[in-house]
Amino acid sequence: MKVIIDLIKEQLNNATLIWKLALYNMKSEYSNHYLGAFWNILQPLLQVLIYYVVFGMGLRGNAHVGDINYLLHLITGLFPWIFISQAINGGSNAIHAQLGLVTKMKFPSSVLLSISYMNNFLNLLFTTVIILILSFANHFVSFYHYFEFIYFIIASYTLIMAINLIMSTLVILIRDTKQMLQNILRMCFFVTPIFWDANNVGPILKVITLVNPFAYLIGIYRNAFIVGKGMFYGNISDHLYFWTVTILLFFIGTHIHNRFKNRLVDYL
């Protein structure tokens, strides 16, 4: 437990640094681009266009998902998924990419994972503003549902941090882990209800959805802006399952990270 508390304190004590470095990374990434930070919106919009043409207009004939326009269903699944997948890919490689900084300057390596999360979260904010405007203008949900987005931030940070604590160490210890992770995320994309309806699939996909923590996060995000079902997304069993899995991964990840954080350079 002490290891977990120390890691949490490490993030809180460096919160200002995390925020400043995330902003710096965002500015420097597009410093030589004419469109600058607008690419944070343009890139996901282009992906939405491609998937909408293929899955929405092509395979589904522009059908609705329940009472929801398919395009809205797609963007409220794809935008958070892009954030989740990029945050995991970036966080899993964050320590390896900055190993010199960690070993030479005694920089707290776990902070790099929070910086990676924040980098991608800032990108998500740009696209979420678009969804928020659409939701507010069309009165899709009651106002209090927007607060579910705050819960989404907390839940996604905890799960992504837990995964990255494990993967950022394994990527250095076992080089094949990076390729394995990319393929697992690619599979997760297709078994997460991003471009399909979780209520209108076969029994196998329904079971996969129930045990898929990413489906839980996508569901929260959708419910916050366009679905607005019930007082809050999901039921008690959904929340208990997600947080049991997340806390277990966080416990494992914290101990793996703590065990190897001072010896990672020896494995290069």
Give the model confidence (pLDDT) of 185-204 as tens digits.
999 988 898 887 877 778 88
Q: What's residue 224's pLDDT? A: 92
Q: Which residue has the higher pLDDT, 38 or 177?
A: 177
Q: What's residue 208's pLDDT? A: 87
Mean pLDDT of the chain: 82
With a cut of 80, say whether residue 235 has pLDDT above it. yes
Under 8 Å between Cβ of 48 and 13? no
15 is written with which tokens?
């919160």
pLDDT digits (tens, 9 = 90+) for 144-173: 899 999 999 999 999 999 999 999 888 888
CA distance 118 to 84: 11
Q: What's residue 195's pLDDT? A: 81
| Dihedral class, residue 178 (left if φ above 0, else alpha if ψ from -120 to 50, else beta) | alpha
Highest mean pLDDT among 10-19, 117-126, 149-158, 259-268: 149-158
For the chain, what are the domain ranges? Answer: 2-267
Q: Which pLDDT band, with edges at 50, 70 and 90, does 58 fall under? A: very low
Q: What is the DSSP string of the chain?
A: -HHHHHHHHHHHHTHHHHHHHHHHHHHHHTTT-SSGGGHHHHHHHHHHHHHIIIIIIIIS-S--BTTB-HHHHHHHHHHHHHHHHHHHHHHHTHHHHTHHHHHHH---HHHHHHHHHHHHHHHHHHHHHHHHHHHHHHT-S-GGGGGHHHHHHHHHHHHHHHHHHHHHHHHHH-TTHHHHHHHHHHHHHHHSSSSS-TTSS-HHHHHHHHH-HHHHHHHHHHIIIII--SSSSS-HHHHHHHHHHHHHHHHHHHHHHHHHTTTGGGG-
213 is written with which tokens?
């923590």
pLDDT digits (tens, 9 = 90+) for 78-132: 899 999 999 999 889 888 877 766 666 677 788 888 988 998 898 888 889 888 9
Return the C-alpha torsion angle 74, 80, 84, 89, nearest 10.
Answer: 70
Which of 64-68, 70-74, 112-116, 125-129 bottoms out in mean pLDDT, i.e. has the lowest?
Answer: 64-68
With a cut of 60, say whether residue 57 has pLDDT above it. no
Q: What percent of the chain is predicted at pLDDT more than 70?
A: 81
